[in-house]
Structure 1
Amino acid sequence: MTTERKLLLTTRIPVRWGDMDAYGHVNNTVYFRYFEQARVEWIEQQGSRVSPEEPVGAVIINASCTFYMPVNYPATVVVKMYGGEPGRTSVMTWYELFVDGDERLYADGAAKTVWMDTRTGKSSPLPDTIRSMFD
């Protein structure tokens, strides 16, 4: 990750038995859920509600994940979320996923997060609380 980034949040998420797949490790789709949970916690910490009833909300327009080693139950994952310099309506976010008690990186990912007017489906300027985090 060569872009300048700022640590926004660190969260711990218990791995559930149902997160595993037939191979006995956390299914690849669940990593995106862990990143999503970190993103939701971050947005809510900034004073916004994540709800379809809100007039403006954050949506993802692209996402990626690189898997380095499998996560197995039981475990607690530690997700570190970073943000980059904001644009008019979006901010780039990055994620690092660890297992609690292990300093090895299990996965990393990225997502471009865009604020959207939920009534029109069009992009909306970033909330001031989000923009001010990068000043």
Structure 2
Amino acid sequence: MNRPATKPTPDHRSQYAAFRTIPTRWSDNDMYGHVNNVVYYSWFDTAINALLIERGALDVRQGEVVGYVVETQCNYFAPLAFPQPVEAGIRVTQSGRSNVRYEIGLFEQGAETAAAQGHFVHVYVDRKSQRPVELSPELAAVVQSLTR
């Protein structure tokens, strides 16, 4: 017997370890007057990578290691729209030798519950060989600080 999938519910902002504010742009809105769904994935990528760069765990230009997205998913609960800023909550729920599952909640500025939430799974690979590598000590420390 097929059982219905559990309907996701929005997370509370207290469930996230770090936050970044992301400005919306006029071009983010679609013809329906809210941010188009594809933009949410861009915000996920921006929030995670900016945090890793700021904390010294990722060098996107010259680093020997890069993170590839191998899985992504998003649930939408409420619309977001220009010109409101978006607050991206970030946490880590799983990590392995070379992979990390980052979860992101997107909040209307000051809201207590997420307008959308989802995840990215990054596998970290050697830039030249394209083979998975162990998380660097710097990245492992950031992952630990975000783990919930």
TM range (shorter): 0.7 to 0.9
Retained in 2: the 8 A contact 1:43–1:50? no
* Structure 1 segment 1-135 matched on structure 2, within 5 A: 7-47=16-56, 48-51=58-61, 53-133=62-142, 134=144
Partner residue, 2:11:
none
Retained in 2: the 8 A contact 1:8–1:42? no
Q: CA deviation at 1:7?
A: 4.2
- Describe the shift of the 1:8–1:113 C-alpha distance in structure 2 as closer, same or farther (beyond 3 A): farther
Name stretches of at least 5 consecutive residues in structure 2 with no aligned partner. 1-7, 9-14
Q: Among the aligned pairs, what percent are the same residue?
A: 27
* Backbone CA RMSD of aligned residues: 1.9
Supply the AA of the counterpart residue of 1:17. Answer: W
Distance 2:64 2:111 in 1: 41
After TM superposition, the runs of 4+ consecutive aligned structure 1 residues lying more than 4 A away are: none
| 1:83 match: secondary structure | strand
Q: CA deviation at 1:104?
A: 3.2
Deviations 1:30-69 (A, max 9, x none): 0011111111112112312123x42211111110000111
Q: CA deviation at 1:8?
A: 4.4
The alignment's TM-score, normalised by the length of structure 1, stands at 0.87
